[in-house]
Amino acid sequence: MNRRTMGKAVLGLAGAAIALSVGMGAGIGSALAQDKLKVGFVYVGPVSDHGYSYQHDQGRLAVEKELGDKVTTTFVENVPEGADAERVVEQLAASGHKLIFTTSFGFMNPTLKVAKRYPDVKFEHATGYKRAENVATYSGRFYEGRTVVGAIAGKMTKSNIIGYIGSYPIPEVVGGINAFTIALREQNPKAEVRVVWVNSWYDPGKEAEAAKALIDQGADVIVQHTDSPAPIQTAQERGLWSVGQSSDMTRFGPKSHLTAIIEDWNGYYVQRVKAVMDGSWKPIDTWGGINTGMVELAPYNPAIPADVVKMADQLKADIVSGKRHSFQGPVKDQAGKVVIPEGKTATDEQILKMDWYVEGVQGKVPK
């Protein structure tokens, strides 16, 4: 997941603050107790984004709450992906942090470089694919959430046109569109999905414009894979449905917000910190779905009919039990060719490399 920082320009200022906060964290930590585990977190955005970085920070707070005075945590926010990230991770490692979470895709190589120099420090990199002796990776199967949302949208749409706002055409987002569309058309074979790419993770103005354009073209449910609540506001203003991203966005459109796909790292972070404490930590790859609690749905809008809620809950339960897979054959591409045959499900590799649309999505994946 290639999260872009919102405050790139603030970084000059932030640089000083980073050095200060890390330095202070180190000072306080070592002064208080020797046997406390120091855990560091590196965020790509500000913790105040009420979205991606905010959710990671909630995980950090959960660690503090669960393990109390056995840990000290430090976080560094607004870290750009690239050379600066390496410096930040290095500073954390050098100042006695024994477990460091680097929470954005672009931190992958910096994390691995620093990990080589600090073999006794454990690293956890979110959404990446490169591991090492002391580097584990983790991510969420967010497409599972999109399956549930797609089914709900299929029941709620009247115009049979769904507007989908995409950030960048990377496999994660394309896979999300496909998972959504498959479930949508199971409920409503006549429904179609129109995609508009805004080429940004966070640009409220552009996201609102995209929502308006899709609504003007007849969409009555707006789904987004971008981080700002602007599309929700637009849908609310026009009296139509919307689905939030990253965190519960109900307050931006109480009448419009059907639900949201929430990233919840709390359980994972607590578990991994405990693993380091009792020595059972291994450099594994974790890709957790709804069953692990990493992917959750925000409370449903009370306006959703009871039978639709029941259907969604059943679908969720089936995904958790493994009875249902988001990409369950037969899945056809836009040309009608069967890509995933009957009785099969997509492999993880197929999902991680998805660069084609399923039947029911309009337009082509930008190359």
Partner 1 sequence: MNDFALIGPILAAMFAAATPLLFAALGELVVEKSGVLNLGVEGMMLVGAVCGFAVTIQTGSAVTGFLVAALAGAATASLFAVLTLFLLANQVATGLALTLFGVGLSALIGQGFVGIPLEGLPKLYIPGLTDLPVVGQALFGQDIMVYLAVAAVPLVHLFLYRTRAGLVLRAVGENHTAAHALGYKVLRIRFLAVLFGGAMAGLGGAFLSMDYTPMWAENMTSGRGWIALALVVFATWKPVRAMLGAWLFGGVTILQLHVQGLGIDVPSQLLSMLPYLATVLVLVLISRDVARIRLNAPACLGKLFHPDA
For β-strands 122-126 and 257-263, DSSP reports them as: unpaired
CB of 170 to partner 1, least distance (A): 13
Closer Cβ to partner 1, 233 or 326, answer by number: 233
CB of 69 to partner 1, least distance (A): 28
Site residues, partner 1 (CB under 8 A) = 6-10, 12-13, 46, 48-50, 163, 169, 194-200, 202-210, 212-214, 216-219, 228-230, 233-234, 237, 251-253, 362-364, 366-367
- Residues 298/259, Cβ–Cβ less than 8 Å: yes
Question: Using N-to-C axis directions, what is the helix angle for 230-238 and 204-216, rounded to 10°?
Answer: 30
Cα distance between residue 95 and residue 364, in whole Å = 49
Closer Cβ to partner 1, 144 or 227, answer by number: 227
Residues shown for the chain? 367
CB of 234 to partner 1, least distance (A): 8
State the burial class of residue 21 (Cβ atoms within 10 Å of its Cβ: 0-12, 13-18, 19+): middle
Strand ordering across the sheet containing 221-224: 192-197, 161-166, 221-224, 241-246, 257-263, 295-297
CB of 237 to partner 1, least distance (A): 7
CB of 224 to partner 1, least distance (A): 13
CB of 52 to partner 1, least distance (A): 13
- Residues 187/154, Cβ–Cβ less than 8 Å: yes
Cα distance between residue 104 and residue 121, in whole Å = 19
Closer Cβ to partner 1, 9 or 306, answer by number: 9
Closer Cβ to partner 1, 42 or 136, answer by number: 42
**H and E: helices and strands count for the chain:** 11, 14
Closer Cβ to partner 1, 194 or 324, answer by number: 194
Closer Cβ to partner 1, 144 or 359, answer by number: 359
